[in-house]
Amino acid sequence: MTADAATDGLILARLEGYYDLAPRGNADTEEHGPLTLFVSRGGYPYYARPRLGLGDDVSAAHITAADVEAVLARQRELGLPRNLEWVDEVTPTLLAAARSAGLQVEECPLLVLDGEPAARPVDAEVRLVEADDPDLGRVHSCIGVGFATGGTALGKTGVAERDADLAAHPDGADRAREASASGRTFLVGAFDAVVGAVGGGSYNPRGDVAEIVGVAMLPAYRRRGYAGAVTSALARHALDHGVTTVFCSAQSADVARVYEAVGFRRVGTACIAEAD
């Protein structure tokens, strides 16, 4: 094993611990053979994923389609979305098992920050958005609208859709505000001098590991470097507040390049499998 491979193995082990820990503050767990099902207590519905330490248990490391079907049946029984998440390099047998069980699998680049985040100067204000910030709802809606039109391509969708989303989903802003107040999530927004919030992203710290999630811009404000600037600000804030490992997963190779320009490098493949 090379030094780089050994280092990446240690990083992936840290990420596995994070993936298991992160939902537990707002979810109950059920063990279904080699899989752990996280059952949300409200808000985000979560998923099933391989049991922590599974790779150390040779007798259980081989996951079958029957294992997947059993946890999918339980999710259906509970009225939950039928989905699984895992890291392919850690649990390689799950990919074939998920596909055999009829799931569609998205394979996403998994990246970790390597060193200090590169500064990304832009012609917008990029700043932390705290729980009592009046712009929090608009930043949250920018992210939702941005993900509804995924990718990095320019588009016409802009502030009108942002404001419509905020009016239609005030509960989403309330949940984001509560998460920010609790310290489970830190939100950064990008602000145009004329129209205000045009995008944002967040990171979720658990101990000294944090995942950057939900970085998105309104399509009309893409290709200006804002996503990279938000990512850099999130990583900088995390490092300045005790985090030592910052990671993220990207929807595509194009999105991964945004993170790579900030200083992230690929260490694996995050798999997201859905039946619904």
Average pLDDT, the chain: 94
Are 163 and 89 members of one domain? no
Both 32 and 96 in a single domain?
Answer: yes
- Once rounded to an integer, what is the mean pLDDT over residues 231-249? 98
Amino acid identity at 155: G
Q: Domain containing 231 — which CATH number? A: 3.40.630.30
Is 218 domain-assigned?
A: yes
Question: Per DSSP, which regions of 5-139 are E strands?
Answer: 27-32, 35-40, 48-50, 83-87, 104-113, 125-129
150 and 206 both lie in a single domain: yes
The secondary element (H helix, E strand) that includes residue 148 is helix 136-148
For residue 109, being part of any structural domain is answered with no
pLDDT band at 57 (very low <50, low <70, confident <90, very high): low
Q: Quote the number of domains for the chain.
A: 2
What amino acid occupies position 164? A
Strands (E), 132-275: 186-192, 196-206, 209-217, 245-249, 264-274
Closest by CA position to 264, among listed 86, 111, 87? 111
Structure tokens at 39: 């059952």
Percent of the chain with pLDDT over 90: 86
| Residues 58 and 152 grouped into a single domain | no
What is the arithmetic mean of pLDDT over 188-216? 97
Residue 260 lies in a domain: yes
In this structure, the strands spanning 245-249 and 209-217 are parallel
Residues 132 and 256 in one domain: yes
Position 151 pLDDT exceeds 50: yes
Give every CB contact of residue 9 below 8 A, 6+ residues apart in sequence. Answer: 1
97-148 residue pLDDT tens: 999 999 999 999 999 999 999 998 999 999 999 999 999 999 999 999 999 9
Task: Show the domain range for 59.
Answer: 3-102
Mean pLDDT across the stretch 15-23? Answer: 96
